């Protein structure tokens, strides 16, 4: 069974469609079919889909109010039943976050008061409203209207100059390479920084913290799928049909001012980015000593650097997953055997993955570390799932009380009622019921055949480790970094705005789920009320993702991690070189090792 704590790796936007079938041209072919044909056809001459064609395709489906009401009702029921943070989202939030209080249920109803011409406009409004939670686990995906990745062929980054001023520059331009490193002064005739900042504030949701969102709007290097790639760049790479067909950029290239206009296009083929400073095994002057695929181990000067991507590349194949985790233990042991006394953990642009992997890495480094306890919402929608699952022999993991260990007794729960508990908290001005606090029981949840070697004993303490991220360290990544920060491992966040310390990670939760994951459970639990099942069912091609279990701090036991503002201890900035050569950042980060 696919693991339940799998969190969608949202950083890589795949544009390489499968070129597998030749679809014969049909009579009366419509524009959408034509686009599909370009994408799938082996013989297609086209490099890009055009904005106007995709728009024409989307405009084939008119808005249907009856269907819209069904969509809104099903989303509301799922959120009320399962979304752990629904009520806390109504509260005034920490000023460190760029976040307004949001009563999602009432605001979803308001969407129905708008008039729309086309279905996609309605879907985008609902998706944007849910994104206003700025909760990376909670979002709406439409297979129909989030299908294409619109790009500009250009990406940007931000540097802080010696005089302290901030600039936007061209990171790469696949159409006109001469534009690389030119300053972007204006975007659509408005100051570039303001445009990117406002876009980050309104239209991105990979952090509650604006600085991290600003980073996500721009391009930066990420490690994943066994290599480096460009992540983020949400400003120039979008999965919703942009409002306008093009964007203009006013550039300053060594004093020469020019204005270019770029149409939005959907590339059919993927172009891989290659940094000039990353050469096979080495990054700048750092030498690779071990490659564990989801982690890489380098030595630079006299310290170690470990890149960690917790992504679930293996699609829940637990034996292979364990194999890679064993390799991570080997990598750390090699660093220890070489006498390395200080290590940097670089988790920049880590979009999450298996919570299990995060807990494993924490335990490897600090064998006595405790996990963040978690809980679920308890109400008349979730209770039937919890109670019916308890009756099944080998029930589905996410709702089964035997998947958890009581945080109070540190033993499995005696009964389902023991798990359900009787805990009422005030959140967003209302009384909300939650289960007993619990730890996930990894043995139950991840039952592979693979046996771990006994983990090596590693020499480092919290004084010898430093964490580096660009603020985009989500979900499982946050479980590593926020947990280690609670035992005083120092943290550095790179990028953001000048002299503005910001969150190094976000979304350390106890579990995320979706309507797609809940749906098969309807069939397994025969006694679920059929009216409940129909209330929760979304139309075909729409999936709602949500935070199912919230996690609590160990340091401040009543603080929900998702809403805890935890800025990094230190801040670094990108420059022209370090944006493309992470080893430059590692050298700067090493200056912060505790003496």
Nearer to ligand NAG, 196 or 340 (CB): 196
Nearer to ligand NAG, 3 or 571 (CB): 3
CB of 94 to ligand NAG, least distance (A): 19
Nearer to ligand NAG, 38 or 150 (CB): 38
Nearer to ligand NAG, 288 or 383 (CB): 383
CB of 159 to ligand NAG, least distance (A): 15
Residue 183, Cβ neighbours under 10 Å: how many? 16
Tokens of 53: 């064609």
Nearer to ligand NAG, 145 or 297 (CB): 145
The DSSP output letter for 537 is P
| CA distance linking residue 420 with residue 400, whole number of Å | 11
Q: At what angle are helices 318-337 and 355-365 packed, to 10 degrees?
A: 30
Question: Sign (positive/negative) of CA torsion 449, 334, 344, 168?
Answer: negative
| CA distance linking residue 86 with residue 427, whole number of Å | 9
Contact between residue 560 and residue 551 where contact means Cβ atoms under 8 Å apart? yes
Nearest in space to 511 (alpha carbons), one of 483, 481, 475, 555: 475
Contact between residue 264 and residue 243 where contact means Cβ atoms under 8 Å apart? no
CB of 402 to ligand NAG, least distance (A): 6
CB of 338 to ligand NAG, least distance (A): 32
Nearer to ligand NAG, 117 or 423 (CB): 117
Nearer to ligand NAG, 252 or 444 (CB): 444
CB of 348 to ligand NAG, least distance (A): 17
Contact between residue 554 and residue 486 where contact means Cβ atoms under 8 Å apart? yes
Nearer to ligand NAG, 334 or 532 (CB): 532
CB of 441 to ligand NAG, least distance (A): 4
Pairing of strands 303-308, 295-300: antiparallel
Q: Which helix (H) or strand (E) holds 80?
A: helix 65-82
CB of 246 to ligand NAG, least distance (A): 13
Contact between residue 200 and residue 217 where contact means Cβ atoms under 8 Å apart? yes
CB of 333 to ligand NAG, least distance (A): 26
Nearer to ligand NAG, 64 or 244 (CB): 64
Nearer to ligand NAG, 114 or 423 (CB): 114
> Is residue 558 packed enough to be buried (19+ CB in 10 Å), middle (13-18) or exposed (0-12)?
exposed
Residues 6+ apart with CB under 8 A from 317: none
Strand positions, DSSP E, 38-89: 48-50
CB of 38 to ligand NAG, least distance (A): 5
CB of 313 to ligand NAG, least distance (A): 22
The label of the residue with tokens 């949400």 reads 234
Contact between residue 581 and residue 283 where contact means Cβ atoms under 8 Å apart? yes
CB of 532 to ligand NAG, least distance (A): 5
CB of 577 to ligand NAG, least distance (A): 12
Nearest in space to 49 (alpha carbons), one of 61, 39, 64, 59: 39
The label of the residue with tokens 């008061």 reads 113
Nearer to ligand NAG, 225 or 441 (CB): 441
Nearer to ligand NAG, 195 or 340 (CB): 195
Tokens of 69: 């009401």
Residues 6+ apart with CB under 8 A from 355: 5, 7, 440, 475, 476, 479, 510, 511
Q: What is the DSSP code string of 438-476?
A: EEE-HHHH---S--PPPPPP----TTSEEEEE-S-BBTH
Contact between residue 435 and residue 376 where contact means Cβ atoms under 8 Å apart? yes
Q: What is the DSSP code string of 160-198?
A: E-TTS-EEEEEEEESS-GGGTT-EEEEETTEEHHHHHHH
CB of 273 to ligand NAG, least distance (A): 4
CB of 381 to ligand NAG, least distance (A): 6
Q: Which residues bind ligand NAG (CB under 6 A)?
A: 38, 46, 49-50, 53, 64, 66-67, 115, 143-144, 172, 174, 180, 198, 202, 271-274, 380-381, 405, 411-412, 441, 443-444, 532, 540-541
Nearer to ligand NAG, 173 or 464 (CB): 173
Contact between residue 503 and residue 212 where contact means Cβ atoms under 8 Å apart? yes
Q: Which residues of 418-455 are buried (b: 16+ CB within 10 A; e: fewer)?
A: ebbbeeeeebbeeebbbbbbbbbbbeebbeeeeeeeeb
Pairing of strands 491-494, 430-434: unpaired
Nearer to ligand NAG, 69 or 281 (CB): 69
> Is residue 115 packed enough to be buried (19+ CB in 10 Å), middle (13-18) or exposed (0-12)?
exposed
């Amino acid at each position: 069974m696919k693991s339940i704590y799998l969190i969608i790796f949202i950083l890589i936007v795949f544009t390489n469609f499968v070129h597998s079938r030749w679809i014969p041209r049909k009579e009366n072919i419509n524009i959408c079919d034509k686009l599909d044909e370009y994408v799938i056809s082996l013989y297609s001459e086209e490099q890009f889909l055009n904005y106007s064609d995709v728009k024409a395709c989307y405009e084939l489906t008119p808005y249907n109010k009856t269907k819209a009401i069904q969509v809104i009702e099903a989303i509301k029921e799922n959120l009320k039943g399962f979304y752990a943070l629904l009520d806390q989202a109504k509260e005034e939030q920490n000023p460190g976050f760029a976040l307004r209080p949001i009563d999602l249920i009432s605001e979803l109803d308001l969407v129905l008061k708008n008039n729309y011409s086309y279905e996609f406009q309605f879907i985008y409004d609902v998706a944007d409203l849910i994104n206003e939670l700025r909760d990376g686990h909670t979002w709406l995906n439409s297979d129909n209207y989030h299908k294409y990745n619109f790009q500009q062929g250009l990406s940007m980054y931000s540097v802080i100059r010696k005089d302290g001023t901030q600039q936007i520059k061209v990171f790469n331009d696949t159409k006109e390479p001469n534009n690389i490193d030119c300053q972007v002064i204006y975007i659509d005739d408005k100051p570039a920084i303001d445009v990117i900042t406002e876009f980050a504030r309104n239209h991105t949701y990979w952090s509650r913290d604006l600085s991290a969102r600003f980073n996500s709007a721009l391009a930066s290097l990420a490690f994943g799928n066994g290599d480096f790639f460009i992540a983020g760049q949400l400003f120039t790479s979008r999965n919703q049909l942009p409002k306008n067909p093009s964007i203009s950029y006013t550039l300053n290239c060594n004093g020469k001012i020019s204005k270019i206009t770029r149409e939005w296009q959907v590339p059919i083929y993927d172009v891989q980015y290659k940094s000039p400073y990353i050469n096979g095994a080495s990054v700048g002057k750092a030498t690779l000593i071990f490659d564990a695929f989801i982690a890489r181990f380098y030595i630079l000067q006299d310290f170690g650097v470990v890149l960690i991507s917790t992504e679930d590349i293996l699609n829940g194949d637990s034996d292979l997953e364990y194999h890679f985790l064993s390799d991570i233990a080997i990598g750390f042991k090699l660093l220890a055997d070489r006498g390395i006394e200080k290590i940097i953990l670089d988790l920049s642009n880590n979009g999450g993955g298996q919570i299990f992997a995060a807990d494993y890495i924490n335990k490897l480094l600090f064998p006595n570390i405790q996990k963040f306890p978690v809980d679920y919402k308890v109400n008349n929608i979730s209770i039937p799932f919890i109670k019916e699952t308890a009756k099944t022999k080998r029930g589905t993991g996410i709702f089964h009380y035997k998947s958890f260990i009581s945080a109070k007794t540190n033993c499995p729960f005696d009964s389902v009622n023991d798990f359900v508990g009787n805990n009422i908290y005030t959140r967003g001005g209302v009384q909300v019921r939650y289960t007993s606090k619990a730890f996930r029981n990894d043995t139950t949840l991840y039952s592979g055949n693979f046996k771990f070697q006994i983990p090596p004993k590693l020499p480092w303490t919290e004084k010898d480790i430093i964490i580096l991220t660009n603020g985009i360290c989500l979900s499982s990544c946050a479980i590593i970094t926020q947990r280690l920060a609670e035992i005083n491992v120092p943290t550095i966040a790179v990028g953001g705005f000048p002299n503005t310390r910001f969150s190094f990670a976000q979304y350390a939760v106890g579990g995320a789920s979706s309507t797609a994951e809940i749906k098969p459970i309807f069939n397994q639990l025969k006694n679920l009320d059929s009216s409940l099942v129909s209330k929760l069912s979304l139309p075909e091609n729409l999936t709602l993702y949500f935070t199912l279990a919230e996690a609590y701090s160990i340091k401040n036991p009543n603080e929900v991690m998702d809403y805890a503002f935890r800025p990094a201890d230190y801040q670094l900035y990108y420059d022209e070189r370090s944006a493309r050569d992470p080893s430059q950042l590692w050298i700067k980060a090493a200056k912060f090792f505790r003496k």
